[in-house]
């Protein structure tokens, strides 16, 4: 049986997301969910950085533009918050690009926009 990358950490993150979704439901802007998650992460003592910028390197040159990850959790997991009706391919591709640029291996896309919370792990 294959090992799941950052299994325990992922479980804690998803638990925090379910707690936020259970209380707030769906329909708010992304910033509201991020604010609530920040409080949950602090309460659960989950280390995080919110809106962490990452440079993009092209042929050993740092580009002018960069990306900002919604959260970086445990210094190893990129967490992207969405409020769409489902987790679509553009969100997955965006997260893959973030992983490539950051050098991290695991991303999680969390969608608060549907009546039931849904999420997808993205591995690079």
Residue with tokens 């042929």: 59
Name residue, tokens 């973030």.
Answer: 98
Neighbouring C-beta atoms of residue 112, cutoff 10 Å: 26
Residue 45 lies in a domain: yes
Predicted confidence (pLDDT) per residue in 98-117, tens digit: 999 899 999 999 999 999 99
* Closest to 12 measured CA to CA, from 79, 92, 70, 68: 79
pLDDT at 1 > cutoff 80: no
Residues 6+ apart with CB under 8 A from 88: none
Residue 15 inside a domain? The answer is yes
Mean pLDDT score, 43-72:
94
pLDDT per residue as tens digits for the range 2-36: 688 899 999 999 999 999 999 999 999 999 999 99
Domain that holds residue 56: 7-123
Residues 34-54 pLDDT 10s: 999 999 999 999 999 999 999
Inside any domain, residue 72? yes
Number of structural domains, the chain? 1
């Amino acid at each position: 049986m294959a090992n799941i990358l950052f299994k325990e950490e992922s479980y804690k993150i998803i638990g925090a997301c379910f707690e936020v979704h259970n209380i707030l439901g769906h329909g708010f802007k992304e910033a509201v969910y991020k604010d609530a998650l920040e409080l949950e992460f602090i309460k659960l003592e989950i280390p995080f950085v919110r809106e962490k910028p990452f440079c993009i390197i092209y042929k050993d040159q740092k580009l002018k533009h960069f990306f900002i990850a919604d959260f970086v959790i445990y210094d190893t997991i990129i967490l992207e918050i969405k409020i769409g009706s489902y987790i679509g391919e553009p969100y997955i591709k965006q997260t893959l690009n973030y992983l490539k640029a950051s050098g991290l291996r695991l991303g999680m896309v969390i969608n608060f926009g549907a009546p039931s919370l849904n999420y997808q792990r993205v591995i690079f």
